[in-house]
Amino acid sequence: MGGHRTHLDHEVGRRLSVRPRILSVMWRWALVGAGLLAAVCAVGPVGGPGAHRGGLRRPPEAASGEGVGEGAGRKRIEPEGIGREGGGRANGGRVNGGAGPGPPPGAWTARVVRVVDGDTLILRVGGRGLRVRLIGVDAPETWSRHECFGAEAARALRRLTPAGAEVRVAADREPYDRFGRRLLHLWTGDGRLVAADLVRTGFSRTLVIPPNTRYAPVLRAAQAAARRTRVGLWGACHGSR
């Protein structure tokens, strides 16, 4: 009996000495698991909405339809059919009434909502509103500062593209400017390139910014003629030579 008790006491002692070692190993594995979980949570979702490769989030897009229901910071939703470089060469270089090439075969139909100033307007394309900056021109300012011939330029654009008028538009290579405005070439309903008409009549200067250079030769020729005859701002504004 004494020998049996001695053996039992030895077995109990052995098991009690093993338990702390097991608990120590379990505690270490728990710490490792917690560290891995924290690392995964810090990285965040890799393939979620708006994520780049590697889990980095996309920055919010700039507003593109101010004044027509598209708020700042929302992702741009491109009207159906609009892309880059809409259509091929413009009418094979044919000129309509001295106001530049007509719209290319791939141009889309849009409707004027309102004119903002001499080179910016709101269009509705495919049921969506777009704040559009005309490619290739720079009209005098009327908002941040009132420049010579700014009001006249805005009125000239309103005459060419009155509210409700149906127009034609085409893209170039760079789709947006740094303010989030859609960069487009624009034609009146009768096929006149609006930018060329504004430059030819002296309501705007030429502003060619690569890579959007599709009609640069037409606009430069129109400006040379306007300066030569001192029409519009070239004759009315001091410093315009």
Which residues are the active-site residues?
Answer: 133, 141, 181
DSSP string, 42-88: HH--SSSTTBPTTSPBPPPPPPS-TTTT--TTPPP-PPTT--SS-SS
Q: Measuring CA to CA, which residue among 194, 197, 169 is closest to residue 183? A: 169
Instruction: List, in sequence order, the alpha helices (H) in the chain.
Output: 2-43, 150-160, 194-200, 216-229, 233-236
Amino acid making up residue 9: D
What tokens does 83 get? Answer: 């892309």
